[in-house]
A and B are shown apart, each in its own frame.
Chain A
Amino acid sequence: MGPYRRCMLRKGPARSTSLGLALAALLGAHAAHAEPATASAAPAPAEPAPSGKPGVAGFGVLLVGGYGASTTSVRGMSLAPYGATFGLDAGFTFRFGLRLGAYGNYSLGSTTNEHRDPILGQAFDFKADTSNLTAGLSVGWDVPMSCLVLRYGMGLGFTSMKWDFGGVDAADVRYGDAKNPSTGFQFAPGATVLWPHGKFQGGVGFDYVVQANGTIPSGFIGKLVAGVKL
């Protein structure tokens, strides 16, 4: 039974959603079928857990494209090692929803204009060019959501950030203790709404990359994904 057919046969309150389009349709549909909530004290009969729903299990590979922005500053600099981001995400989802996977992303980053006004000496401007490469393992959970799948994820891996301050000595911008590339542990909670259609699956989501190394800024990456599920 394919995901589209499942969606058609779904019983109970119509509570489908996906992205902005589906949300609008969803709320409209629910407004039409709105039912009062039952008394909260009333015991609810047991319903089978979502585990075991078809369409979730299997091996999947996704191409990732997105755009990220730093959410923290580093040593007074607004480094931007994210920007346009491309990557690959592969993993296996068990029938009950658990997903184990691996990922790798490359972010082109961008150049930012920085300014330093030291206590001693003259103020100066410089450009900071940064980019980064991340790779790691991920653990997640796929939750069937009508004809869509909501994927919770937590990436655990490493970041390697290249930096270039032009002709400025890193020590002059309080960055002298950082190696080039600067590396560190990262973890990345996120969520993605996937639309499986046969062997194809595509979707939209986000990752928030939390960097443990204080010389690398954390960042938020919005992403589009497309790939296959076998």
Chain B
Amino acid sequence: MKLPALTLALCVLASSHAHAQTAPTTPTPAPADLQSPEQRSLRYSAYTLPTGKWAFNLGALGIGGGDAFATLGAAYGIGYGLQADINLAHASVGLLNIGTAWHFLDTRYFDLGARVGFWYGRGKWFWIARGLAKEAVSKIDILSIPIELTASAPLTRWLELDLGATYAYGHVYGSVGSEDNAFLEAQLGAYQLAFRPGTRFFFTDNVALELFAKLPAFTTIPLERAKDVKVPFKDTWSLEGGLRSRFAEGFFGNVRLHYGAVADVLYGARLYPSFELELRL
């Protein structure tokens, strides 16, 4: 395998050399890559859709509150950096999941955005639960209002740093028989302050590697008729690594691996994949 490895290394170095020879000395317009306004990722970033742009997402097996289980999302760029979105997949199982985002600071190296979500889960309508889980879930309703401030720093053409701070107000209405309730363990109704540092490496104009960690400072599940449940850090932190690519103009694909206790709760495994397709019109 020495020859292929050598060829591969030469390939990479030659590509760098070619760039060195052709690198312009004067600023040039940005190419339409994954950092451009039309194509950049809205996930855990400060960015929103450009004015008049629609985005539709189809995914499964996510572990975040906004994309847990399945995603069939629609989002629209309203203008002035504002965006509205809804996850229709959650609506189909009795979870209202809507949100709005505002990209309010837009500079060359630093961007700020804010997001507010409104999630309401009606336990009786959560038809995909079965057996004991269905019985437990049917007795509760869950409200969650996550407020997120995210900073994105596109430092170079190949590197972007992100840092999000999320405060989620949550409340659980109704009777909870035990703490072993999937809704609760999935932290869907949690009262939580969490930080989410992340890094994106843009390998080419159409491929990016995205790495994120969710680091909750505290997580409490407020119960209406019982003592609040404090969830320890070891059960709330999680890691996520994924690849995002542009398949065609306006069409993107993602595959991710998640690691954390919350994935164990939702899917029975600490390490779990998710995937997502995005269409922007």
Chain A residues within CB distance 8 Å of chain B: 4, 7-19, 21-22, 25-30, 32-47, 49-51, 71-73, 96-97, 141, 143-147, 150, 152, 154, 189-191, 195, 197, 202, 208, 210, 218, 220
Q: List 6 A-B contacts (CB under 8 A).
A: A33-B20, A41-B37, A44-B32, A146-B12, A150-B245, A191-B243
Number of interface residues of B (CB under 8 A): 66
Q: Assess the B271–A220 pair: CB atoms within 8 A.
A: yes
Q: Show the binding face of B for A, using Cβ within 8 Å.
A: 4-5, 7-9, 11-16, 18-20, 22-23, 27, 29-33, 35-38, 40, 47, 61, 106-109, 111, 154-160, 201-207, 243, 245-249, 253, 255, 257, 267-275
CA distance A200 to B37 in the complex (A): 38
Q: Are A37 and B32 in contact (CB under 8 A)?
A: no
Query: Apart from A40-B35, A46-B32, A150-B207, what 7 extra A-B contacts exist at CB < 8 Å?
Result: A15-B158, A27-B201, A33-B23, A37-B109, A38-B29, A73-B268, A146-B12
Query: Do the beta carbons of B61 and A210 come within 8 Å of each other?
Result: yes
Is A152 touching B61 in the complex (CB atoms < 8 A)? Answer: no
Question: Chain B residues near A34 (CB, 8 Å)?
Answer: 156-158
The smallest C-beta distance from A114 to any residue of chain B, in angstroms, reads 18
- Contact partners of A220 in chain B: CB under 8 A: 271
**B243 surroundings in chain A (CB, below 8 A):** 150, 152, 191
Closest to A202 in B: B4
Point out the residues of chain B lying under 8 angstroms from A189, CB to CB: 61, 255, 273-275
The answer to whether A44 and B29 touch across the interface, beta carbons within 8 angstroms, is: yes
Q: Which residue of B lies closest to A51 (CB)?
A: B248
Please determine whether A14 and B18 come into contact, CB atoms closer than 8 angstroms: yes
Q: Are A40 and B269 in contact (CB under 8 A)?
A: no
- Asked whether, in the complex, the Cβ of A14 is within 8 Å of the Cβ of B207, the reply is no
Kindly identify which residue among A22, A37, A71, A73 contacts B35, using a CB–CB cutoff of 8 Å.
A37
Report the Cα distance A28→B274, complex, angstroms. 31
- State how many angstroms separate the Cβ of A145 from the closest Cβ of chain B: 5
B30 touches A210 (CB 8 A): no
